[in-house]
Structure 1
């Protein structure tokens, strides 16, 4: 995740925000705050195509809530978390968000899952003055501020954006592999199109022509046509805008055809399930990444304790997604604590925009926001699957 945010874009954003009319105030709710409790909500895919993400993310969130509450809560208030299943369906995400706003009276939506689902539901939150914090999406819409829409101040993102991370990782791969015919296979939705944008922008910057760009529908399971096309196009580096099963499916198809080619996955491919389920089919896969993945037998101190506790609690090994979910709630708690005992929506917003740094236990890059920048950072790594494990290849990348 490089701390390099586009300087020109930041400057223009600051200028644009400074030109906001005085009446353009951000409406923010005080619902969900009582003397003893803060109600937060989240929607995850617990039953659909990316439930491998959603279940683990929600487990990580639950673990953080339990840990915070056991330590006395946030300035004496316990967290109550409302969890809804979106099935990775945008319509269900909208209905879940409406239910959490109207019935559960949530104060903030924390770590909601997926680019298409978050995009569909976010305006429902903003209209109600509900914060959208740290969604499980790295799409630009999760942090880009429109100065003409003051309600967009309610969104904050802490994952490496797909465009920036894809660009940084692709730049590195082009430098070490010198491909002549780079290609991309991407999911035909908001997530995939962001990866495509990063791919296209970086190739243009490096004066390279793509040999092929092929897409697939979200939820697809057969990638034979796409892989056959890329092979016939002579692709020598394939960028994957995929998640878990699509990554394994595409690489398995390539192996079946005897096609030896370098694969580079976008950040959602950088999860433990890919090597665990894909086995030899995904050996050698490179991926853009936000932080180094810890393994229990090599982790130390607090991270080791956390991994052991997670396994004891959920009877399964912790993974990237669980860490992201845990960090989403811990980041919220950090800024809510900063907002003080007399917590209000406005004080929470002020705390988030204060520039104070949140540091997690996993040695991730610092999280920090300002009035004009609602993206935590863009520091990117490249990792590779070697002998069934993700191994750090290069860190602190930027484009």
Structure 2
């Protein structure tokens, strides 16, 4: 009898051991999925320092939602998108995320805006089992996950990452133009630190010392001290970990000083607003980029139709940001559709990790994820502003 109890005890113990990983399984919510709709959320900067990103991104998202719903939804379910303004403020991003989880019962957070804002709010999502998909920041914390922390599997990104794209663009520029004294001016936050990491890692590999590294506080508008320092340090290439107005400000300051130096922007500088607002100040700027920016007078086929429809809907020209927002929703729709009619959070997670590629209409590199890799692509281009337009200089770059 004792023997059989002992055997039973061992068997129960073995059973308990086999169930250990199940306890560490990723919990994915089914909230927001009903027979007729899928509720999704996003928080954008609609009123703060990067609303030139937030507004067109949310427009692109709205356009995709409208198109999908007009075509009957995804396997009969319409998308309902909850949009909140984060003002590029981490505290507001946290409050908006809590509201969307608790009140709106969102299924997934799609394309939330900004490095500091996404970082502040993402753990709240993971604790609730809410997927964080394709945020508008390419910082590593949006796709690198610790396999020992199963809730971190809920993050996926399809944006060109800052570290890798900075490295690829910098390598190309250093080799193509034979620069000897590269410098960096970067924003003092998570985004800027990623550009700094890419800059430093690439120079280390190339065994080239940085001639100068300087930073500025997010929201700053005076870059005279930083530019004067880089000029006196003898820089021949200036890498910019900036967004829009800081890019124009830094290049304007160099012009004031009569300093003719080559500027290379990290990927957030590769937007239509930089040449539109900076005009001749930014002529010649190079930038890391993910895809060619389409212009209405040269675009063809589906892309041309898309540009025309966007202008009709929003009374403005579509830009990079609108494309990124549109792609965030269409990518989500692709994987939800693949997950089938009997929809659950787990099935969407499995679909995302299936390795099935998604191809957008803009000829970007295909989006593809796996169980171990939640970053879609690291293939980089370098573009340059010539006569007020972004022109492709070199594509398919890596480091």
TM-score by length of 1: 0.95
Residue 23 of structure 1: CA displacement? 2.9
Give the CA deviation at 1:178.
1.3
Q: Distance in 2 between matches of 1:22 and 1:332?
A: 27
Greater C-alpha radius of gyration:
2
Equivalent residue number for residue 269 of structure 2: 269
Give the distance between the partners of 2:21 and 2:181, measured in 1 at CA.
49
Q: In the TM superposition, what is the alpha-carbon distance from 1:148 to its structure 2 partner?
A: 1.6
CA distance in 2, matches of 1:97, 1:302: 34
The SS at the match of 2:23 is: coil
Tell me if 1:305 matches 2:305.
Answer: yes
Instruction: Measure how far apart 1:21 and its partner are.
Output: 4.0
Residue in 1 aligned with 2:8?
none
Q: How far apart, CA to CA, are the structure 1 residues paired with 2:365 and 2:237?
A: 29
Q: Would you say 1:157 and 2:157 are equivalent positions?
A: yes
Is the deviation greater in 321-330 or in 177-186? 177-186
What is the TM-score normalised by the length of structure 2?
A: 0.95
- Cα deviations across residues 145-186 of structure 1 (Å, max 9, x unaligned)? 101210010000001110000000000000112112110000
Does residue 333 of the first structure (1) align with residue 333 of the second (2)? yes
Per the alignment, residue 395 of structure 1 pairs with 395
Deviations 1:12-71 (A, max 9, x none): xxxxxxxx9453100110000111110000000001110000000000000000000000
Matches within 5 A, 1:92-171: 92-171=92-171
SS of 2:378's partner is coil
Partner residue in 1 for 2:5? none
1:39 aligns to what? 39
Say whether residues 1:60 and 2:60 are aligned partners: yes
1:246 and 2:227 matched: no
1:348-378 CA deviation, whole Å, 9 max, x = no partner? 0000001111000001100010100000010
Aligned to 1:83: 83
**Offset at 1:314?**
0.4
- The corresponding residue for 1:6 is none
Per-residue CA distance 1:256-289 (angstroms, 9 max, x = gap): 1111000000000000000000000000000000
> Could you report, residue by residue, the CA deviation over 1:177-230 in whole angstroms, capped at 9, with x for unpaired residues?
211211000000000000000000000000000011000001111111111111
Q: Secondary structure at the match of 1:202?
A: helix
Who is 2:51 aligned against? Answer: 51
Whole-Å separation in 1 of the counterparts to 2:326 and 2:280: 30
**Could you report, residue by residue, the CA deviation over 1:77-135 in whole angstroms, capped at 9, with x for unpaired residues?**
00000000000001110100000000000000000001111011000100000000000
Separation in structure 2 between the aligned mates of residue 122 and residue 212 of structure 1, nearest angstrom: 34
| 2:151 maps to 1:175 | no
Identify the residue that residue 316 of structure 1 maps to in structure 2.
316
Alpha-carbon distance in structure 2 between the residues aligned to 1:95 and 1:68? 29
State the secondary structure of the residue aligned to 1:390. strand
User: In structure 1, what is the Cα distance between the partners aligned to 2:66 and 2:89?
Assistant: 28
Distance (Å, rounded) in 2 between the aligned partners of 1:227 and 1:89: 27
Task: State the distance in 2 between where 1:88 and 1:207 align.
Answer: 37
The answer to whether 1:296 aligns with 2:296 is: yes
Which structure 2 residue ranges, 5 or more long, are not aligned? 1-19
2: CA distance, partners of 1:105 / 1:180: 54
Number of residue pairs aligned between Structure 1 and Structure 2: 380
SS of corresponding position for 1:121:
helix
User: For residues 304 and 241 of structure 2, what CA distance do their matches in structure 1 show?
Assistant: 31
Give the Cα–Cα distance (whole angstroms) in 2 for the partners of residues 85 and 23 of structure 1. Answer: 36
Q: Following the alignment from structure 1 to structure 2, what is the Cα–Cα distance between the partners of residues 244 and 296?
A: 22
Q: Given the alignment of the two structures, is residue 374 of structure 1 paired with residue 374 of structure 2, yes or no?
A: yes
Looking at structure 1, the residues matched to 232 and 46 of structure 2 have their Cα atoms a distance apart, in angstroms, of 38
Query: Aligned partners of 2:68, 2:222: CA distance in 1, in Å?
Result: 43
* Higher mean C-alpha deviation, range 56-65 or range 219-228: 219-228
Cα offsets for 1:229-263 (capped at 9, x unmatched): 11111111000000001101100111111110000
1:13 is matched with which residue? none
SS in 2 for 1:81: strand
Whose relative contact order is higher, 1 or 2, with alpha carbons under 8 Å and at least 6 apart? Answer: 1
